[in-house]
Amino acid sequence: MKTNKDYSENLKQSGLKITKQRVAILDILDKSKQPIAAEEVYENLKSNNISINLSTVYRTLELLTSKNLVLKVSIDGNSKSLFETNNMMHKHYLICTECKKILDIYYCPLENYEKELEQETHFKISGHRLDIYGLCPQCQKKINGGKNNI
């Protein structure tokens, strides 16, 4: 895989040893279209024939999070922490409250607002969180369908 080089570089820059497991975990998170839980990372590693146990996956994810290579995402209504690679571009999430599907939103409506707020308050703003909740089209159909049957 040609992408492995980049992850090795990231690990090196963060002062971490390059191990097959760490590179594989970053690769899995990067390929996933949405943030995933440690268990899913673990399942993925197993199906790629990489031997690792679940507690090592947890520990590695925490380590990568502490080095900012990985972001931990907690979503209301979902007790599990989810992980994704930190590609240095912040994102927002649109979350279906029914099926817990998560869509990434790359557009940020708050960038100008942050600047205004800095001028107003003289804060040095370092970031923000914004998650948007709703019902996805499939769940709307399911729920509306249910109502019509009554």
Residues within the interface to Zn ion (CB under 5 A): 96, 98-99, 108, 110, 136, 139
Closer residue to Zn ion in complex, CB, 54/108: 108
Closer residue to Zn ion in complex, CB, 46/91: 91
What DSSP character marks residue 15? T
Least separation in angstroms between CB 22 and Zn ion = 28
Closer residue to Zn ion in complex, CB, 46/100: 100
Are 65 and 73 in contact by the 8 Å Cβ rule? The answer is no
Closer residue to Zn ion in complex, CB, 2/124: 124
- Tokens representing 44 are 């993925």
Q: Is 99 left (phi over 0), alpha (psi -120 to 50) or beta?
A: alpha
- Write down the residue that tokens 């499939």 correspond to: 138
**Cα separations in angstroms, 126 against 16, 27, 103, 115, 129:** 25, 27, 23, 11, 11
Least separation in angstroms between CB 6 and Zn ion = 25
Least separation in angstroms between CB 90 and Zn ion = 5
Least separation in angstroms between CB 126 and Zn ion = 12
